[in-house]
């Protein structure tokens, strides 16, 4: 990649982030940011724009430390407010404005001049759900509710408050297109339909591949994906379409499922799915079987058959390619891990439920900003790797990717918050350029196999501290035949 291409890419990134910053300070956002009509009507020190940026860039351990860092970053240390004033301003912010900002971030990215990474010619998106922990408070128990179980029958039995979260993720470009928080007993399936409905504005007539785990392989979702013209690769549950799968004679075969009137009555979330199946009751699914070997809880090797449902034709995708596409879904899992462990998504400064929502959604926006910068830098590293192979450099035998946690820290340390606050494209460009210049210090090699076996190892002594020398968590351990063996989390 020539230097001119790098400068052009940085310029496009700067234009995009400056445009997004102007959106966050616009009158449209001001109106959406209000919880009450009287909120943010005066031009106070901590206005709605500063409050949004505070939630996006929050990264310190204490509120006092955070306030000092925030006002220093925007070059207004003399205007620092008290904690009480912060809580009063934060209570005015409507969490829906951050949900809107996440969707608008995605919409503007696809309309911008930034190069959009595709898999061949496809947009690849992944859906997955998670639980986000919420501060424990009586009002939050009733606000976010709780899923009943054998141990939890009433609000008095609740020890941890959770929110059901679900996100739609662009796995090639590294950001959430949508992120929704609901009460803990809310199902992931209607959230998936909500995200799919809203995704239509992003892709229009572009080909899309939708990735999802086992809970999303229902006839209603598959019918809706067919209606939208999306391709899909979904891991199948063993009890889905058992009769049809049992009649398969090979490991890669199309099955036909008759979705009759009784079955269609169970469709609850999409009238389009109902219309699709009424028009063509016979639903055709390509089923790819893959054998997976793993070590069970007793330390014994097991072999299991994994089912993958897809509608990709054989001439477009072989069974190996279908299996590889499904592995790309792991990117959304990695993003959840990054948000929870590195960005500390579940660390709050108030027990208020709306402030907790704002804290979570703000961290998602920061993850998105770093995600697109990381994606562009990874493309640069890929080009560098190809050029080094052409000129025969032995030291670049491995592919390299950006270390996302180090990138996030570098952008903070270089003053990205102040640049976004100023809404000056030139200042943003300088920060991204300085980050590009240290790209070799925040890259890691991508090897075909793991260089360190994290679980399934026998330990002579249990770890006496939480982290290894390299900063990683020690894996969990269990007793196995008189020894300690590391286990997967």
Domain assignment present for residue 472? The answer is yes
- CATH number for the domain that contains residue 182: 3.90.350
Could you give the CA distance from residue 394 to residue 382 in angstroms, rounded to a whole number? 15
CA-atom Rg of the chain in angstroms: 24
Q: What is the reported pLDDT for 441?
A: 83
Helix (H, G, I), strand (E, B) or coil at 291: strand
Same domain membership, residue 292 and residue 330: yes
- Token pair 């249990």 is found at 462
Q: Tell me: pLDDT of 388 over 80.
A: no
Same domain membership, residue 318 and residue 173: yes
Domain assignment present for residue 362? The answer is yes
pLDDT tens track for 13-23: 999 999 999 99
User: Helix 353-391 crosses helix 48-57 at what angle (to 10 degrees)?
Assistant: 60
pLDDT tens track for 190-247: 999 999 999 999 998 899 999 999 889 999 999 999 999 999 999 998 889 999 999 9
Structural domain of 162: 116-337
Same domain membership, residue 289 and residue 370: no
Q: Tell me: pLDDT of 437 over 80.
A: yes
Same domain membership, residue 294 and residue 419: no
pTM over cut 0.85: yes
pLDDT tens track for 26-47: 999 999 999 999 999 888 899 9
Domain assignment present for residue 199? The answer is yes
Strands 301-310 and 443-446: unpaired
Evaluate the CA torsion angle 333, 334, 336, 337 in order and state its sign.
Answer: positive
Same domain membership, residue 191 and residue 245: yes
Q: State how many domains the chain has.
A: 3
Domain assignment present for residue 343? The answer is no
Average pLDDT over residues 65-72: 95
Same domain membership, residue 442 and residue 471: no
Same domain membership, residue 122 and residue 54: no
Same domain membership, residue 330 and residue 190: yes
Same domain membership, residue 307 and residue 163: yes
Q: Tell me: pLDDT of 392 over 70.
A: no
Count of positions (residues) in the chain: 489
DSSP 30-88: HHHHBSSTTTT-S--SS-HHHHHHHHHH---SSHHHHHHHHHHHTT-GGGPPPHHHHHH
Characterise 482 by phi-psi region: left (phi > 0), alpha (psi -120 to 50), beta (else).
Answer: left
Q: Which of 337, 366, 388 is the last residue of a domain?
A: 337
Could you give the CA distance from residue 205 to residue 310 in angstroms, rounded to a whole number? 20
Same domain membership, residue 327 and residue 224: yes
Could you give the CA distance from residue 326 to residue 233 in angstroms, rounded to a whole number? 6
- Classify residue 412 by burial, with Cβ atoms within 10 Å: 0-12, 13-18, 19+: middle
Same domain membership, residue 87 and residue 122: no
Could you give the CA distance from residue 465 to residue 452 in angstroms, rounded to a whole number? 18
Q: What is the reported pLDDT for 391?
A: 46
Domain assignment present for residue 345? The answer is no
Same domain membership, residue 465 and residue 432: no
Average pLDDT over residues 70-77: 94
């Amino acid at each position: 990649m020539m230097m001119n291409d790098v400068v052009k890419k940085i310029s496009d990134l700067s234009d995009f982030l400056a445009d997004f910053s102007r959106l966050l300070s616009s009158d449209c956002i001001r109106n959406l940011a209000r919880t009450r009509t009287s909120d943010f009507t005066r031009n106070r020190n901590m206005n709605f724009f500063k409050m949004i940026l505070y939630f996006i860039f929050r990264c310190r351990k204490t509120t006092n430390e955070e306030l000092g860092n925030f006002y220093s970053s925007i070059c207004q240390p003399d205007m620092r407010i008290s904690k009480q004033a912060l809580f009063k301003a934060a209570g005015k912010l409507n969490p829906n404005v951050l949900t809107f900002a996440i969707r608008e971030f995605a919409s503007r990215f696809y309309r911008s001049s930034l190069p959009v990474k595709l898999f061949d010619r496809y947009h690849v998106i992944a859906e997955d759900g998670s639980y986000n922990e919420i501060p424990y408070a009586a009002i939050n128990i009733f606000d976010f509710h709780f899923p009943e179980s054998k141990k939890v029958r009433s609000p008095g039995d609740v020890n941890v408050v959770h929110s059901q979260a679900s996100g739609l993720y662009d796995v090639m470009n590294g950001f959430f297109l949508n992120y929704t928080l609901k009460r803990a007993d809310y199902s992931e399936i209607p959230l998936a339909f909500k995200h799919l409905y809203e995704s239509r504005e992003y892709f229009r007539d572009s080909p899309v591949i939708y990735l999802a785990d086992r809970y999303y392989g229902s006839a209603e979702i598959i019918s809706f994906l067919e209606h939208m013209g999306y391709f899909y690769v979904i891991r199948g549950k063993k009890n889905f379409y058992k009769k049809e799968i049992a009649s398969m004679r090979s490991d890669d075969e199309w099955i036909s499922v008759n979705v009759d009137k009784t079955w269609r009555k169970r469709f609850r979330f999409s009238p389009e799915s109902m219309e699709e199946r009424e028009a063509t009751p016979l639903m055709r699914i390509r089923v790819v079987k893959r054998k997976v070997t793993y070590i069970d809880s007793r330390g014994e090797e097991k072999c299991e058959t994994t089912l993958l449902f897809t509608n990709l034709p054989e001439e477009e995708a072989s069974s190996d390619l279908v299996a590889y596409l499904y592995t790309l879904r792991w990117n959304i899992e990695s993003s959840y891990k990054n948000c929870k462990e590195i960005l500390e998504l579940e660390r709050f400064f108030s027990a208020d439920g709306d402030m907790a929502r704002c804290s979570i959604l703000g961290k998602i926006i920061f993850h998105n900003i770093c995600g697109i910068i990381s994606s562009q830098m990874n493309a640069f590293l890929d080009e560098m790797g190809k050029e080094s192979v052409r000129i025969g450099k032995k030291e670049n035998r491995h592919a390299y990717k950006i270390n996302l946690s180090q990138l996030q820290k570098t952008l903070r340390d270089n003053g990205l918050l102040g640049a976004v606050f100023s809404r000056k494209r030139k200042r943003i460009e300088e920060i991204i350029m300085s980050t590009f210049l240290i790209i070799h210090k925040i890259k890691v090699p991508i090897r075909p196999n793991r260089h360190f076996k994290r679980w399934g190892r026998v330990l002579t002594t249990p770890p006496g501290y939480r982290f290894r020398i390299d900063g990683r968590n020690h894996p969990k351990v269990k007793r196995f035949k008189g020894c300690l063996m590391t286990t997967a989390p």
